[in-house]
Amino acid sequence: MPGYELWGEEEKKHLNDVIESGILMRYNFESVRNNHWKAKELEHAIEKKMHVGHVQLTSSGTTALITALNVAGVGAGDEVILPTFTFVASFEAVLGVGAIPVLVDVDNTLTMDPKSVENAITSRTKVIMPVHMCGSMADISALQSIAKKHSILLIEDACQSFGATYNGKYLGTIGDIGCFSFDFVKTITCGEGGAMITNNEEYYKHADQYTDHGHDHVGTNRGAESHPYLGLNYRISELNAAVGLAQFGKLDTILSIQRKNKKFIKDSLQTIEGLEFRRIPDENGDNASFLSIFLPSQEKARNVSQALASNGIGNAYWFDNNWHYIRKWDHLKLIKTLAPLYKEHKELLPNYANADYSQSNEIMSKTVTIPISLLWTEQELTKKAEIIKNTIENQLS
């Protein structure tokens, strides 16, 4: 599943380039960095491969999301529609810019239900933010149509689906802006890192400035640079970018292994009565980092998850997960913040604790997800597929 499983000499080589120069910062120090520009090189590599105009690396997927919202002008009182199944960073970023996270149900893609999105749009809605969870994509065509119909922005949170495609286009390149995460357990890793991508020249220019305290990056004298806008320090370091550059070179290999391993396991489960699979809008584009299955009931799903774990098969039962599903987000439901929100901001927030997410509950309570490792040998893959099949059959019998 994560790129760190394929750590090797490539990462060491790129890291050593940076260490030998001693320049860990991505900007300036032109005369002493031995012409090593790891962040710039990774940005250009992503632009070329994904056929996108601009890439801005950041310090994390979270800061990529915050940057995207800022450059799109999302702020006080604006509503951003998100799915109930995501990582907490999605709504944290929205709250962080003073906007309002509006959570909607997921469907059997495990991503936001377009019908729920349509019903959630108000005069305050500024952004639809689909989250391409667990390697696969939202129903992006339907969401794109809704965004266009209502003249609102589409920002893709593709942090969990780097390298996945939909109808031949990379996830993240389809909406107005896309965001990726390169943390330690993502498809490729920088250790910590992220990226915002766009074809909008103005969005990119503002992202380049915003992520570096508002510096305009004109000239080679950092102290003489102007500050057209307020910004923050969301820079990636050259060390992190060096790791990411090596990992990016392995992306096709990672995706190939994942797709092969996932297909083998999925094929072995096809004959199990009562078992269903997550709907993937474009099967060929799935990055295949996870296999998600639907069991007949909440009880069966929880039992299957526990039995798989007991038999050495790592898995996630998201319904009981603290980080990824609304059911356990008490800190959001109760608006637990270290410092108080503005009164006006707090008053605009939905009543998350009492909202009806019964459609999401119905789906997520029956879902079990198995991560796909890059390190399984053919023998291990065959054995794991057998264990998974037997475990599920025993629980459904």
23 lies in the same domain as 151: yes
In tens, the pLDDT along 189-223 reads: 999 999 999 999 999 999 999 999 999 999 889 99
How many helices and strands in the chain, by DSSP H and E? 14, 12
2 pLDDT exceeds 90?
A: no
What CATH number is given to the structural domain containing 54? 3.40.640.10
Domain boundary among 229, 251, 273: 251
Domain boundary among 220, 236, 251: 251
- Count CB neighbours of 335 within 10 A: 14
261 pLDDT exceeds 90?
A: yes
247 lies in the same domain as 264: no
Domain count for the chain, please give it: 2
1 pLDDT exceeds 80?
A: no
Residue 289 structural domain: 252-396
Q: What would the mean pLDDT of 339-362 be, rounded to a whole number?
A: 96
The Cα 86–Cα 64 span in angstroms is: 16
In tens, the pLDDT along 225-252 reads: 999 999 999 999 999 999 999 999 999 9
91 pLDDT exceeds 90?
A: yes
Report whether 106 contacts 113 (CB < 8 A).
yes
In tens, the pLDDT along 292-307 reads: 999 999 999 999 999 9
> In terms of DSSP bridges, do strands 165-166 and 153-157 run parallel, antiparallel, or are they unpaired?
unpaired
337 lies in the same domain as 214: no
Mean pLDDT value across the chain: 97
Domain boundary among 199, 220, 251: 251
In tens, the pLDDT along 332-350 reads: 999 999 999 999 999 999 9
